[in-house]
Amino acid sequence: MSKHIFGCLILTLMLPGIVRADEESEAQRPFVSGGAYDKPHLLKLASGRAALGGYAEAHFRFEKEDGIIEEKTFVPMRFNLFFHSAVSDRFRMAAELEFEEGTEEILLEMAVLDFEIHPSLMFRAGMLLTPLGKFNLAHDSPSNKMTDRPVVSTEIIPTALSEPGMGVLGAFYTSDRTRITYELYAVNGLTDGLIEESEEGTRISSGKHNIEDNNNKPSLAGRIGISPIPSAEFGISWHTGQYNTTFLEDIRIDDARNVTILALDAEYRRNDFEFLAEYARAKIDLPPGLSGSIYAGNQQGVYLQTSQGLLKNALPNMEGSYFEGVVRYDLVDFDSDLKGDYLKRLTLGLNFRPTEDSVMKLNYLYNWRRDRSNVEGLGAGILFSVATYF
């Protein structure tokens, strides 16, 4: 399984060879394309310093697994609000408030205070979007070309991973076309919910939302992005630290146990073509009593996605509209030390964008899943969603 995942990722190394030498450089690029300070439809308030915006998303889902209908439902998936303010030339603030599934969950997904000392050095504090993989930093539904987020980016990363923390970030320009970015933070980290709150075994997504650090031991997270040309970027990122509680009222109740996640990401965009890839591997220190049970100490996953714009201005009464064809392959291995317990998914998509910032997505997905006994289960689904910035 590990060789298969790494084999998929090798495709990303072919990208520089298809870049034209005369490609134009970009004078100004956002620190993260689609990230905190790269949002459309921000309405400036009367003061001129603050701005508002957001996006909304709705789904229809019809999914079957082993011939049994699992879902046939409408979902008001997300309603997010953006708040930005340029307090001064050097001090800025950005925040995002998320309402999920009809306010079943309300989250402060991001709220950062940034003080710029120099373009190569900025101090950041608050509720951070952890720079673990590129997708966690830029996952807005209107810009995401599939209805569902990549499986590796929700199960291994897990997006959206927001954590209280502080640290530094910056960018270095080695030429007018080449850039290196970095983010380095101390954060509260994950909790022991990743093994205690899931009946399926180790699930890292169950260990997030650690608002008050459960063990008073900050974790370390960071990402380094290398952009040899404006249309391509490669990133390496990490998240490591203790996840369990070792002391209860000054009484030691457990040994320290760590979780470490390493991620690689790549992207390439040219005209209406886009290629995205992300790989993540996690190592979890398990308590001795859980070794050899349903809980996994090693997990990994990858996704590969390509899309191509089609039929621009095909509808005469909708100038600027176009279609998109999208293909994505997902693979997540929930226990890398076991032959089974993995999920493969192939998703085909056709999108219609009446404008750049609004989209209607029609997806067909097919799942190959094996349980811990290596018994295969098959599933499929048809998803339709609408999303727009505002």
The model's pLDDT over 330-343, given as tens digits with 9 standing for 90+, comes to 999 999 999 989 99
Name residue, tokens 């997806």.
363
pLDDT of residue 293: 81
Is the per-residue pLDDT at 298 higher than 70? yes
Please state the length of the chain: 390
Residue type for position 123:
F
Residue written as tokens 């830029």? 138
| pLDDT, position 12 | 39
In a domain, 234, yes or no: yes
Using CA of residue 152, residue 146, residue 29, residue 121, what is the dihedral sign?
A: negative
| Mean pLDDT of the region 135-146 | 95
Predicted confidence at residue 104, as pLDDT, reads 84
pLDDT at 24 over 70: no
- Whether 228 maps to a domain, the answer reads yes
Q: The domain containing residue 127 runs over which residues?
A: 2-14+54-389
Is the CB of residue 233 less than 8 Å from the CB of residue 278?
no
Query: Would you call the peptide bond into 40 cis, given omega within 30 degrees of 0 as the criterion?
Result: no
Instruction: Say whether the peptide bond before residue 232 is cis (omega within 30 degrees of 0).
Output: no
Q: Kindly tell me if the per-residue pLDDT of 23 is higher than 60.
A: no
Please state, in angstroms and rounded to a whole number, the distance separating the CA atoms of residues 311 and 322.
6
* pLDDT at position 14: 36
Task: With respect to residue 296, please indicate whether it lies within any of the assigned structural domains.
Answer: yes
Q: How far apart are CA 185 and CA 221, in angstroms?
A: 5
As a whole number, the mean pLDDT across the chain is: 89
Amino acid 346 reads: L
Nearest alpha carbon to residue 231 among 175, 181, 179: 179
Q: Contact 172/179 with Cβ under 8 angstroms?
A: yes
**Residue 139, amino acid:** H
Asked if residue 21 belongs to a domain, the reply is no
Tell me if 210 is assigned to some domain: yes
- Within-domain flag for 27: no
The predicted model gives 209-219 an average pLDDT of: 91
Tokens of 181: 């970015």
Average pLDDT of the residues in 30-44: 80
Q: At a CB cut-off of 8 Å and minimum separation 6, what does 294 contact?
A: 200, 201, 372
In a domain, 204, yes or no: yes
pLDDT in tens, 236-260: 999 999 999 998 888 888 899 999 9
Each residue of 262-275: pLDDT tens digit? 999 999 999 999 99
Tell me the CA distances in angstroms from 100 to 90, 159, 171, one per residue in order: 33, 14, 33
Amino acid at 93: M
5-9, 25-29, 162-166, 318-322: least confident range: 5-9
Which pLDDT tens digit goes with each residue over 97-112? Answer: 999 988 888 999 999 9
Residue 63: exposed, middle, or buried by beta-carbon count in 10 A (0-12, 13-18, 19+)? middle
Whether 124 is in a domain gets the answer yes
Q: What is the CATH number of the domain that holds 91?
A: 2.40.160.10
Are residues 288 and 34 in contact, defined by beta-carbon separation less than 8 angstroms? no
**Number of separate domains in the chain:** 1
